[in-house]
Copies of this chain bind each other. A is one copy, B any other.
Amino acid sequence: MEVKAFAPASIGNIGIGFDIMGLCIQRPGDQVVARHSSTPGLRITEIRGATGLPTDIELNTAGLAALRLLEHLGATDMGIELEIHKKMPSGSGLGSSAASAVAGVMAVNALLDAGLSKKELLPFACMGEQIASGGLHADNVAPSLLGGIVLIRDNHTFDIVQFPVPPALYTVVVHPQLEMLTKTARAILRPEVPLKTYIEQSANIAAFVSALYTDDYDLIGRSLQDVIIEPQRAGLIPGFHAVKAAALAHGALGSSISGAGPSVFALCKGAFIAEKAGKAMQAAFSAVNISSTIYTSPVNIEGAGIIL
């Protein structure tokens, strides 16, 4: 018997919610197959779609997440094989490691019929993702697992809030062919924020949350302005300012860096604008000789699931 779990990509931070907010998209995403084995213990038998990822359970985000869940269930002696199908690039800012960790716990939970809810699975997925990002941050794990637009009020107690999603909210993410490690993007950040900038950003996040509850697309646009992290990381992404400007010029409500980058996302009202904005963003990357992939989707309110 085997089960296959799918966990989607996510837009970490959503610009203004550094380390605390994320948004689930429909594709790309990772798959993890879990199956019983007569050999005791958890093993990774295959990793498809990526090279260089560790098959050592303790070093692999999907493996470690699954292991932590098995420890919780007292089932570490059970023979389980994992097969990881990477269908999204690492270091893209799309929450690739989080998706693998989420798919890992979803697959094991289903294989063992353990019956844990998604919220109960969250801590184990976070523990797996931690080895990739260097810290316990649920801002990709939680949206990939739960779907929708998610706030992590407290990473230690996993105090999670799921916001309502305005019905016409559409996303576009443009992933340039550049690799950036979250650890690197994190290391360049100044350890202090000017008080004035903090005030501005806190007003923007408060307004953004309100706009989600009131379907106020204009306010989403006015408040989606990251004045803290984006200015510091923009220089790591060649062409960033032109890409963002292209999105806004083509009707996007707002645009910023997805997660730690280098992917750039835009939120749009409706699929048509998202398609137009995405093409313009891709053209702006092309203008600096960077090829890129476009992903457009509504907000994915389902999150991770089992593929039947």
Stoichiometry (number of copies): 2
Assess whether A46 is interfacial by the CB under 8 Å rule: no
Q: How far is the CA of A160 from the CA of B192 in the complex (A)?
A: 28
Assess whether A146 is interfacial by the CB under 8 Å rule: no
Q: Which residues of B contact A152 (CB under 8 A)?
A: 203
The minimal Cβ–Cβ distance linking A226 to chain B, given in whole angstroms, is 11
A191-227 to B contact mask, C-beta < 8 Å, 1/0: 1111100110111111111100100000100110000
User: Of B19, B163, B192, B210, which one neighbours A199 at CB under 8 angstroms?
Assistant: B19
Q: Which residues of B contact A21 (CB under 8 A)?
A: 206
Assess whether A228 is interfacial by the CB under 8 Å rule: yes
A161–B192 CB distance below 8 A: no
A189 closest partner in B (C-beta): B195
The minimal Cβ–Cβ distance linking A26 to chain B, given in whole angstroms, is 24
Assess whether A66 is interfacial by the CB under 8 Å rule: no
Q: Which residues of B contact A204 (CB under 8 A)?
A: 153
Assess whether A20 is interfacial by the CB under 8 Å rule: yes
The minimal Cβ–Cβ distance linking A12 to chain B, given in whole angstroms, is 13
User: Of B17, B161, B189, B213, which one neighbours A202 at CB under 8 angstroms?
Assistant: B17
B228–A198 CB distance below 8 A: yes
The minimal Cβ–Cβ distance linking A61 to chain B, given in whole angstroms, is 22
Among residues 139 to 153 in chain A, which have CB atoms less than 8 Å away from a CB atom of chain B?
Answer: 151-153
Tell me whether A199 and B153 are in contact in the complex, defined as CB-CB below 8 angstroms, given that A192-B194, A194-B191, A194-B192 are known contacts: no
A219–B161 CB distance below 8 A: yes
The minimal Cβ–Cβ distance linking A165 to chain B, given in whole angstroms, is 13
A21 closest partner in B (C-beta): B206
Pick 24 A–B contacts, CB within 8 A, sort by A.
A17-B206, A18-B199, A18-B202, A19-B199, A20-B202, A20-B203, A21-B206, A151-B203, A153-B222, A153-B223, A154-B203, A154-B222, A161-B210, A161-B219, A192-B194, A193-B193, A198-B198, A198-B228, A202-B202, A202-B205, A205-B205, A205-B206, A206-B209, A210-B213
* Sample of 20 more A-B contacts, CB < 8 Å, known A191-B194, A192-B194, A210-B213: A19-B199, A20-B202, A20-B206, A21-B206, A151-B207, A153-B203, A153-B206, A153-B219, A154-B203, A159-B207, A159-B222, A161-B210, A189-B195, A190-B195, A192-B192, A193-B195, A205-B205, A209-B209, A209-B210, A213-B213
Point out residues on A near B: beta carbons under 8 Å: 17-21, 151-154, 159, 161, 163, 189-195, 198-199, 201-210, 213, 219, 222-223, 228
